[in-house]
Amino acid sequence: MMSLTGLRDKLNHVVFSNKFYFALIRPFSKVCCEIISTRSLREERKGNLPLNKVCQAADLFHAPWRDCARELKLDMDEQNFHRKDWEYTQIIFALKSLRYLTPDSLCLAIGAGREPLLYYMTYKVGGVLGIDLYEGEYYGGEDETDIPHSAERYAPFPYPREKLRLLRMNALELDFPDDHFDFVFSSSSIEHFGRKRDILKSLQEMYRVLKPGGAALITTELKLTSAGTRMPNVRPFSYHEIIGLIGDAGFEIPQDPDLRIEAEYFEDWVKLPEEINKRPHVILRFLNTVFTSIHLVLNKAGDAARRGKETMTDIPEFEYQGKIRVQAAAPFFSGGADIPLEITLTNQGNFTWIHSGHSHRVAIGAQLVNAGGDLEERDFATIVLPQKIQPGETLTFRAAVAAPDRPGNWILRFDLKKELVFWFSEKGNSFFDLPLEVG
């Protein structure tokens, strides 16, 4: 007899399946956007790219747009394209095109989380303020509670720390004066704000704190078919719904958006939740809701906001370099027994290794490799550093890991890692192999 869990999993598989969608939902759901091919857009994108538009992989063929992605250190091509990276790039492209990136500009990020745009803006403008509730409720840790006082931990590259300030604040009640910011940006946050009246309130607050002549650049979720409901904690908008809210808040949109969607991705969408890591990541479906991202530039009438020449600066990169030396008390251990270790680490990089918390801390990972050199267990053990380590500093300390419970000859491969992000060896750093025998 099938268990309740098995029955639920089977039901979910059927309900979430494309076969179920096309048989019982698609015949009653009108596609609200023109469908074209990526190939037909590529030539067009070589010469022109609108500021207001939906996510399109063909944008990769617009050279200035692609340069924006590279400046943000996003490695995108058609195979690993992701709409979140598209959102960041489109916001930068629009700000450059409209000349809002000046050394004296002041900007506000709504629903800021720990997005790379925050750190990027510190090289472009005079001051960056980011607000979020920072309640630690979203998948992926985008709003972890320590972000406001630990911004350095989450930085994707070195940045001028004095220019960035993150605050715990409700987007519906911005604690800033009227006509204060030159521009505001928000990447996929307003759809999480609840009821329509709450979303309208957030847009009205953006309008209030913007200087006349300023702009709010937002990305959000756009429904592509007439059928579609709210998803957990997300309100995808129809086009007329989001345009109505923007107008009610007092904003103007100077350019009609390009709402064309690419057939290749509409016919091979990312099916949530099981395909969340699928690439390319352009168009998505959750149950009966098919959606993608839309970017809009919202104008506040006037001319008080700063606009002018952008400062071009090479943004440095973190150097993920460190030396690991590990010594065991003996070469032979019983299965499952503790292996006492003496570890010596040298920080050869250009940033402080933060040891506290979990996400984005620097730690040592022990991977289990068999005698033939094959990886048996990638996350065999984790060793937390006893303290932070400054660039150029060497630290020696004692720790222990459990021996494999199976007898044989093994290798413990010690590698530094940025927790939940990547291993240092993926950035070219060396690891340390410790042979041992388990009896």
- Asked if residue 110 is part of any domain, the answer here is yes
Q: Which tens digits make up the pLDDT trace of 135-191?
A: 876 555 567 888 999 899 999 999 999 999 999 999 999 999 999 999 999 999 999
Q: What total of structural domains would you count in the chain?
A: 2
Regarding whether 327 and 203 lie in a shared domain, the answer is no
Instruction: Give the Cα separation of 203 and 197 in Å (integer).
Output: 10
Regarding whether 264 and 351 lie in a shared domain, the answer is no
Regarding whether 113 and 61 lie in a shared domain, the answer is yes
CA atoms within 13 A of residue 26's CA, in its CB half-sphere: 10
Regarding whether 344 and 265 lie in a shared domain, the answer is no
Regarding whether 356 and 222 lie in a shared domain, the answer is no
**Crossing angle of helices 63-71/83-98, nearest 10°?**
110
Q: Which tens digits make up the pLDDT trace of 345-367?
A: 999 999 999 998 888 999 999 99
- Tokens matching residue 290: 């098919």
CB 83 within 8 A of CB 293: yes
Regarding whether 55 and 117 lie in a shared domain, the answer is yes
CB 432 within 8 A of CB 414: yes
- Asked if residue 202 is part of any domain, the answer here is yes
CB 171 within 8 A of CB 197: no
- Asked if residue 101 is part of any domain, the answer here is yes
Query: CA dihedral defined by 249, 251, 256, 259, rounded to 10 degrees?
Result: -40
Regarding whether 274 and 148 lie in a shared domain, the answer is yes
Q: Which tens digits make up the pLDDT trace of 265-324?
A: 998 999 998 899 999 999 999 988 999 999 999 999 999 999 999 999 899 999 999 999
User: What values do phi and psi take at 432, rounded to 5?
Assistant: -125, 125
- Asked if residue 131 is part of any domain, the answer here is yes
Q: Which tens digits make up the pLDDT trace of 305-322?
A: 999 999 998 999 999 999
Instruction: Give the Cα separation of 78 and 41 in Å (integer).
Output: 13
CATH number at residue 206: 3.40.50.150
CB 65 within 8 A of CB 166: no
pLDDT at 2: 47
The answer on pLDDT for 5 being more than 60 is no
Residue 361: domain span: 322-438
Mark which of 236, 266, 299 sits at the end of a domain: 299
> pLDDT-derived band of residue 258, with 50, 70 and 90 as boundaries?
very high
CATH number at residue 338: 2.60.40.10
- What's the whole-model pTM score? 0.89
CB 420 within 8 A of CB 359: yes
Instruction: Give the Cα separation of 287 and 25 in Å (integer).
Output: 9
Instruction: Give the Cα separation of 32 and 239 in Å (integer).
Output: 9
Regarding whether 261 and 328 lie in a shared domain, the answer is no
The one-letter amino acid at 57: A
- Asked if residue 82 is part of any domain, the answer here is yes
The one-letter amino acid at 135: E
DSSP-assigned letters across all residues of 33-98: S-EE-HHHHHHHHTT---SSEE--GGGGG-HHHHHHHHHTT----TTT-BHHHHHHHHHHHHHHHH
